[in-house]
Amino acid sequence: MTFQGSGPLEGGNVSAGGSGGRGGKIAVGGGLGIILAVVALLFGMNPGDFLGGGNAGPTNSADVSELQQRLDNCTVEDANTDDVCRLKATAISVSKVWSNLMPGYVEPQMTIFTGTVQTACGPASSAMGPFYCPADQTAYFDPSFFADLKRMGGSDGPLAQEYVVAHEYGHHVENMTGVLAKGQRLGNAGSVRIELQADCLAGVWAYHADKGPEATLKPLTEEQIATVIKSAKAIGDDTIQGARSNPEGWTHGSAEQRVRWFKIGYNGGDPQRCNTFATNDI
């Protein structure tokens, strides 16, 4: 359990979407979609065409309606036991932290879907893993990703799930500051810096989310932080690519880098320390 308090979850700009069909699975960590979406937007391509999404197809309105009703009825207590409600509670928590830290912060949207979904970046599938589309300022999540993350060697524990949300919302912060556009111009090297910065910003959220009279999280434990570290290691480029991993082809950073940058953000909660573009030591 990580969330404290009781009663209904209100706010968060969270809605249900998707067609209910399952796309082909690939082993990716949170954040792959943002890079592909940016590339697609700049070069007029459809990310769904090369991510297994293709045409998102007709939406199963009954499934979406049921998911939306589930979201509308979420409580704080539910957020400690239910993945869908946990996503909503985390969206509220992350935006609450960034509203206090970042002047002019604009809360993004979150869409929770199953299988495939239509986005302003084109149709996409759950094969992308969680992703953020800058064109509609929306973070997209298929909750089934958490089971995939566990199979990849990560954790499906509550805080590990919340870290994934905070990482994608970190991309929204980067979009607002112009870092996304800057990173895209630098190719793979820029992609790595974008992803590591998002990990650091997720750490910033974790530092602040359990502090103060209006804290949304109960005090975090070392065991909970360990689940985040385990997941960050599991989605490092070198972990995913294996023994023949080539750093020149990395897009997200190594397991060690992802863990280190999360810790930089978590140790003190200062977003100014997350500027991965201001150092050669990433």
- Kindly tell me if the per-residue pLDDT of 85 is higher than 80: yes
Tell me, what's the pLDDT at 269? 98
Which residues pair with residue 119 across a beta bridge? Answer: 122
| Confidence at 60, pLDDT banded by 50, 70, 90 | low
Q: Is the confidence at residue 54, as pLDDT, over 50?
A: no
Residues 6+ apart with CB under 8 A from 88: 9, 12, 14, 71, 74, 79, 110, 112
**CA geometry: angle 47, 53, 54, nearest 5 deg:** 85
231-259 pLDDT tens trace = 999 999 889 888 888 887 888 999 999 99
Token pair for 38: 């940016």
pLDDT at 196: 97
Cα(7)–Cα(92) distance, rounded to whole angstroms? Answer: 14
- Distance in Å from the first CA to the final CA of the chain: 33
Average pLDDT, the chain: 86
Q: What digits encode the pLDDT tens for the residues 122-177?
A: 898 888 889 999 999 999 999 999 999 999 999 999 999 999 999 999 999 999 99
Tokens of 144: 């089934």
Buried b (16+ CB within 10 A) or exposed e, 235-259: bbbbbbeeeeeeeeebbbbbbebbb
How would residue 67 be classed by pLDDT, with cut points 50, 70 and 90? very high
3-state helix, strand, coil in the chain (%, to 5): 55, 10, 35
